[in-house]
Amino acid sequence: MSPPAVHALVRLEEVHRSYLMGSATVEALRGVSLRVDRGEYLAVIGPSGSGKSTLMHIAGCLDRPSSGRCRIDGTWVEDLPDEELSRLRNRKMRFVFQSFFLIPQLSVQENVEVPLVYAGVGREQRSALARDVLGRVGLAGRHDHRPNELSGGECQRVAIARALVTRPDLLLADEPTGNLDRRTGEEITGILEQLHAEGVALVIVTHDVGKARRARRVIQMEDGRILRE
């Protein structure tokens, strides 16, 4: 018998993405093809406006291509209804951004529990899962604090805990250390790399060539295309 076919966690085929800005059409992606496998560590680099964030948004199903195909864990998604696409995204992947996007009115623990609320997880289980991941990112004693009581590095740890709490297959991080000082940025990078070591596929968009070189694979983008790998 032949071995079962192995499919990529994310696969993009000839993806184009354009936006209408006033009377002008901006080509953010120009025929990009990309494969991300399970457990992979990929860095995407390039100047501002090169298409890095658009690529991440397409790969993470936050946006749809203007043309081309996108497959997530064996499912072609370009024609999926929004509700089905959202369910698939929530099962498979999570995001960490340069801005933390924490809800200021909620405690640290409540912020981490938000994805679990949408997933229909009960209150006691939500609390246990949230406290577990907060411990993993070094915030075991800060669960009752509000975001405005935390440092920038601590807020990013909360954002990582929120992404981790649903145990995703893929973590997409867009400039996750861009708002942090160098030392704190190294700590956050270390946390992300530990998650990768535990089997989470990690895609980091960064301007920092030094951080990119720590990845197993690096893609350089320019003018909406993959320039080299």
What's the distance, CA 185 to chain centroid? Answer: 17
Where residue 78 falls among pLDDT bands split at 50, 70, 90? confident
Range 36-53 average pLDDT: 93
Range 163-175 average pLDDT: 92
**DSSP assignment letter at 148:** G
| Tokens read off for 77 | 């998604």
Where residue 4 falls among pLDDT bands split at 50, 70, 90? very low
Instruction: Give the C-alpha separation, 175 to 118, whole Å.
Output: 26
Q: Outline where the chain has alpha helix (H).
A: 52-59, 82-92, 108-118, 123-136, 152-164, 182-197, 209-212
Tell me the pLDDT tens digit for each residue of 190-215.
999 999 999 999 999 998 888 899 99
> Buried b vs exposed e over 18-36: b needs ≥16 C-beta within 10 Å?
beeeeeeeeebbeebebeb
Where residue 106 falls among pLDDT bands split at 50, 70, 90? very high
Q: What is the pLDDT, as a whole number, of residue 88? A: 87
Instruction: Give the C-alpha separation, 198 to 142, whole Å.
Output: 24
Residues 6+ apart with CB under 8 A from 202: 40, 41, 42, 170, 171, 173, 192, 193, 195, 196, 215
pLDDT, the chain, mean: 90
78 contacts 89 by C-beta, under 8 angstroms: no
Tell me the pLDDT tens digit for each residue of 138-155.
898 888 999 999 999 999
pLDDT at 2 over 60: no
Q: What is the pLDDT, as a whole number, of residue 211? A: 87
Where residue 6 falls among pLDDT bands split at 50, 70, 90? low
